[in-house]
Amino acid sequence: MFPALETELKQETLPDPYEDFMYHHLQYYGYFKAQRGSLPNSATHQHVWKNKPPYLVSGSFGEREDVIPDPLQKEKLLYSLMLRSPLKSRQLLHDKFGEVKPCLQEPRDLFAFFSSSGPLQAPRWPIECEVIKESLCHIEWVPPQPEYFYQPTGNEKLPEIVGEEKGTVVYQLDSVPTEGSYFTSARVGGKRGIIRELAVTLQGPEDNTLLFESRFESGNLQKAVRVDTYEYELTLRTDLYTNKHTQWFYFRVQNTRKDVTYRFTIVNLLKPKSLYTIGMKPLMYSQLDADTHNIGWRREGKEIRYFKNNTEDGQQTFYCLTWTIQFPHDQDTCFFAHFYPYTYTDLQCYLLSVANNPVQSQFCKLRTLCRSLAGNTVYLLTITNPSRTPQEAAAKKAVVLSARVHPGESNGSWIMKGFLDFILSNSPDAQLLRDIFIFKVVPMLNPDGVIVGNYRCSLAGRDLNRHYKTILKESFPCIWYTRNMIKRLLQEREVLLYCDFHGHSRKNNIFLYGCNSNDRKYWLHERIFPLMLSKNAPDKFSFQSCNFKVQKCKEGTGRVVMWRMGILNSYTMESTFGGSTLGNKRDTHFTTEDLKSLGYHVCDTLLDFCDPDRTKFMQCLAELKELLQKEIYKKFNELGQDMDLEGSWSDISLSDIESSTSGSDSSLSDGLPVHLLNIAHEVNQKKKMHKKKKKKPLQTRKQRNEQYQKNNLMRELKLTEDILERAGFASTLQKQPTFFRNSENASSSTMRNEKPRLNELHGRDKGSSLDPSKMTSLILTKHKERMQTEKPGFTVSCSPKRSTNPSQEPVPDMKPSWSRNRFPATKRGRAAMTVYPSLHIYTYP
């Protein structure tokens, strides 16, 4: 035992256990050398650790001293001291009787989360967005009666789209980033400065102009034009930093009039097909009804039509949605929406209630997965009951669920809310699920898009559900960290199921998209969970609408990427914006309660799917084989072929008998994020400018020599041209040599004189072609040497002009290549056939 501890035990004065532990820990590893009396006595040195660590009170750092004869005895002693002394560590766990457990609690979260007294984390907006200061809150309400689809009468009016040329703009957003710009930064509250009043100013109490607003969380309205007293044309804002994806709308109107029929027409929708063509109604919320009668969102609208806008040739095709409505109250504040809104603040309020619940917080751990581009928190929930043994914890399988990768598909959040309500409850089934599974839940993958009111994209201007294979962590952090989290999870345990919750704008009911298994051992197993879900929710879920074909354009989706990572049951759950065509709910709209109930059915189906009694599993597998046989038989009948289904029909590729999914094609939203596209464009422009200014690269010695010879040749040619011009004879350097009839002797003589030089060149460059520039350079060099040896007073006679001094005699020894003979003039009127020397520049092919 330690001498210092023995002394203190003899004195019956127990040291502070934390200080004592730190002292012996440092001493054991050689970081503290001290005498016996240097250990502070907790009876006389109270709170020494708060002021100064023991190893700074006395002693010095040094080598390890082996003063521990029995480590086991030391640990027992320290543990007994901890049990008998007041503890300063806040990480040691206590049970309800105050006994100390020999383990530490989980570390604190990396980021500060909610507190019961503090406010929620305010959403962060791009700095271009104006945001009003009002906070909106809508109540949840379930209509007492089913809300049926709209039944067209055939007499619906088709309004003429006139635009702002013939109307009056009563609301318009100016500072909206569109295509060509990109996200740079964000802050709480969005754009700095005074928030302008965009709605028109009423001229008095009799002015019945509606006041529009959409600068709030998840709001989307770009412009409103009043084209008649009670008729308005509306333009939706595209997803930020794009020129696409106009589907989601959510806006506010004020200054309403009761018992008056208003018409609203959205003029810039992009999808050619819509549920509005088969009876879907918009949603309306009356603030007065909510305050007085506790009535929330409800389906409203008459004379609903979805039609193609007449656009000029060459312009983008738009579609219009029009409906009429009568407001229930005068001077009311009403909202319209494509579907039940579920904002980022709604999610935070829900998570705050979970964090403050003393029971739920025991098995639901809230963490930060990452921060979005704008700096908003992406939350990760880990839900499971504490395991009794490490072996039990390791045996648990994992289930991964996520929602709102597409921000305008708020129905995914309502299904997620229903799932969380059930799995966090005290139901026996929920407790059983928490015992056998670890649930990893990302309730909102794209908080930035949800906040700004996008339909499909993030602030990178791209569809995140096409980038699950991305390596751009900074551009797509939510997706990158989600995939990385699942990858680490797969290394620890089996992931039984992955499901991403979405919304669908063209098909009714709820259904799944999966991936056909290529492993014959698990043939059709990926279809068992959807079939079980259709049996548990027969009036909402349609197995016939499910599809399991893996298309090339969907390779970047979460469903396909997780399947290729090894998760057999990897799904995208599509829930309609409309309603059901099945069972008791046929031809009725879905409410939030319907969607939340599907979250419960997902939990119920998980229990059936993992039931140790495999009866249900095998029944579903047999039913799937029978359905597949019928589908194959039907397919071959359509092709006019016969097939023996008793043969190897199971070898047929399942993808061959399935049609492609009818989901949205976001290939236009694929590719680099818009800010990288702009950076790439700027880099390319800089490269082009740099290339213009860039000097030639360094040359080899051979290249420098050739360049030097070339420059000398050009200087000599220039000098020769100057001489010829002064002599009055046009330069022949740019022409082919001209041989006159009477100059044959001179030419032949020149050729004879040049042959030795040619031999010299051939001797230098044997086996190689003769360089014309070298040949010309050699000839001109020799000529220059001869020019320097000439006698003074002789001029080069290369001009057709007659000599001014006919009495002068020619020099007899001048070489014929550059003859300086002057010939006497002939008689007047007679042509002069003078032989002039020619400059022979030999070129070779």
Q: Which residues are catalytic?
A: 574
The Cα–Cα gap between 197 and 175 comes to 13
| Both tokens assigned to 531 | 């079939």
For residues 595 and 411, is the Cβ–Cβ distance under 8 A?
yes
Beta partners for residue 104, in sequence order: 92
Amino acid at 80: S
Amino acid at 61: F
The distance in angstroms from the start CA to the end CA of the chain is: 102
DSSP 8-class letter at 222: -
β-bridge pairing 510-513 and 569-576 = antiparallel
Q: Is 752 exposed, middle or buried (0-12, 13-18, 19+ CB in 10 A)?
A: exposed
Beta strands in 550-649 (DSSP E): 569-576, 579-580, 588-589
The Cα–Cα gap between 363 and 383 comes to 6
| Both tokens assigned to 140 | 């949840």
Q: Which of 180, 243, 241 is CA-nearest to residue 475?
A: 241
Q: At what angle do helices 744-764 and 772-789 cross, to 10 degrees?
A: 120
Cα angle 307-308-312, degrees, rounded to a multiple of 5: 155
Ramachandran category for residue 539: left, alpha or beta (phi over 0 → left; psi -120 to 50 → alpha): alpha
Beta partners for residue 286, in sequence order: 334
- Letter string b/e over residues 622-656, b meaning 16 or more CB atoms within 10 A of that residue's CB: ebbeeebeeebeeebeeeeeeeeeeeeeeeeebee
Place of tokens 């009002």: 134
Q: Which of 753, 774, 750 is CA-nearest to residue 762?
A: 774
CA distances from 746 to 72, 460, 730 (A): 118, 81, 21
For residues 567 and 495, is the Cβ–Cβ distance under 8 A?
yes
| Both tokens assigned to 652 | 């047929």
Q: Is 428 exposed, middle or buried (0-12, 13-18, 19+ CB in 10 A)?
A: exposed
Amino acid at 627: L
Helix (H, G, I), strand (E, B) or coil at 64: coil
- Letter string b/e over residues 361-370, b meaning 16 or more CB atoms within 10 A of that residue's CB: eebbebeebb
Q: Which of 594, 566, 611 is CA-nearest to residue 400?
A: 566
- Letter string b/e over residues 574-588, b meaning 16 or more CB atoms within 10 A of that residue's CB: bbbbbbbbbeebebb
Q: How many CB atoms lie within 10 A of CB 479?
A: 29
Helix (H, G, I), strand (E, B) or coil at 511: strand
Q: How many CB atoms lie within 10 A of CB 674?
A: 23
